[in-house]
Amino acid sequence: MADPSKPAHAEDSGSAAKRGKPTLRTIAEITGLAVTTVSRALSDAPQISLDTRKRVREVADEIGYSPDRAAQRLKTGRTNVIGVLLDPHEEILGYGTSIMSGIAKALQGTAYHLIVMPNFLNSTNVEAVNYITRNAMADGLIFSRTEPLDPRVRLLSDLGFPFVTHGRTELSTPHPYVDYDNFTFSYQATKRLIAKGRRKPALISGPAGFTFAGHLQHGFMTAVREAGCAYEILSGIDLDSPAGAIRDRVRQRYAEPDPPDSFMCGGEVCALATITGMSDCGLTLGREYDIVAKQTSHLLSAIQPQVETIYEDLTATGEDMGRVLLQRIGGESDVSRLQLLLCPQIPSSFDAAG
């Protein structure tokens, strides 16, 4: 029925002042001013008299004017859009939700829109970045899961395109980031296991290649070395593995000699899967073994309240990333002011001897 090639609400043009979406021209005709003046007035240029500015604003509000973003974009080259690159797996247990709602909060009240670009097709994330910059689809980019020599970071740095990452890199050129201190998290979590009397903690490590995996491992190793105890890094699985794979691996490990007696889990799904695997072997959490996990949602604590957790506030992270990116776009060139390392809040119960 309705012709989709034209906005359906564009009614037939009436008399002189044509109907349809109001533009600067509409306001100009109503006020008797020139289009230029109206444009200037709406952007509060000091060269336009206060009277005029006020009158224009009133008329604009009255007729419900809102600027055509396509035209602004064509003219200025600015899109007023912040893009978030979303990996397929990132939606699990609210990662994406939390981050996004944080960013949205930071962008509230600004001219910027948040747009999520799901990256389900371009096999590599770099292609997506390339595409977005080449087609000027956004003024700034946010993405996560950085690698030590992240090619996206490299590309964007070269282009001078504003971005913030969730996670650090090891590139020599510094860049804006917001990161969680996974070293400290892992160190404290492992220390907690040891404080509870465990003598062989196991780490289910982050997926190989990502910067945070190194941090997790480093924190873990530091704690076990300090304690001088045995340890194990479970091979064959990581935090990205499906729950079933983690469960099976844990089960299998317990059929072999000299199994670990506790687990440092970097995520809730990982913890749940571990518990299931152990339970299949007849082992009980808190009795035969312990777990400390990172918590980012409320699922784990509802299902398995016995698991001790350290919380990572992803919404706050998102908000920080939004703020940092806005500063960057706004011209802040001192990168050191655009790097945030968020500290884990260690529960006070951790202080008590296990």
- Of residues 131-150, those binding a copy of itself (CB under 8 A): 133-137, 139-140
Binding window for a copy of itself (CB under 8 A); candidates: 41-49, 155-163, 190-198, 220-228: 155-163
Binding window for DNA (CB under 7 A); candidates: 68-76, 96-104, 244-252, 275-283: 68-76
The minimum distance between CB 195 and a copy of itself, in angstroms, equals 27
- 289 interface partner picked from DNA, a copy of itself, none, CB below 5 to 8 A per type: none
Q: In the stretch 293-312, what mask flags binding to a copy of itself with x, by CB under 8 A?
A: -----xx-xxxx--------
* 268 within 8 A of 298, measured Cβ to Cβ: no
Place of tokens 């011209």: 331
Residue 321: closest CA among 105, 88, 172: 105
Sign of CA dihedral 116, 122, 123, 127: negative
Sign of CA dihedral 15, 21, 25, 30: positive
Sign of CA dihedral 95, 98, 101, 106: negative
Count of residues that bind a copy of itself according to CB under 8 A = 75
Residue in 11, 17, 49, 89 binding DNA, rule: CB under 7 A: 49
Interface with DNA includes 159 (CB under 7 A)?
no
Interface with DNA includes 88 (CB under 7 A)?
no
Give the span between the Cα atoms of 351 and 248, in whole angstroms: 33
Q: Which two tokens stand for residue 96?
A: 């994406």
Full DSSP string of 79-118: --EEEEEE-GGGGGGGHHHHHHHHHHHHHTTSSPEEEEEE
Give the residues across from 201 on adjacent strands: 262
The minimum distance between CB 48 and DNA, in angstroms, equals 4
The minimum distance between CB 157 and DNA, in angstroms, equals 24
Binding window for DNA (CB under 7 A); candidates: 35-43, 157-165, 183-191, 269-277: 35-43
Please identify, using beta-carbon distances, which residue of 117 and 234 lies nearer to a copy of itself. Answer: 117
- 34 interface partner picked from DNA, a copy of itself, none, CB below 5 to 8 A per type: DNA
| Beta-strand relationship, 177-180 and 339-342 | parallel
* 176 within 8 A of 337, measured Cβ to Cβ: no
CA geometry: angle 266, 173, 333, nearest 5 deg: 105
Q: Give residues in contact with DNA (CB under 7 A).
A: 20-21, 23-25, 32-37, 39-40, 42-43, 47-49, 51-52, 65, 67-68, 71-72, 74-76
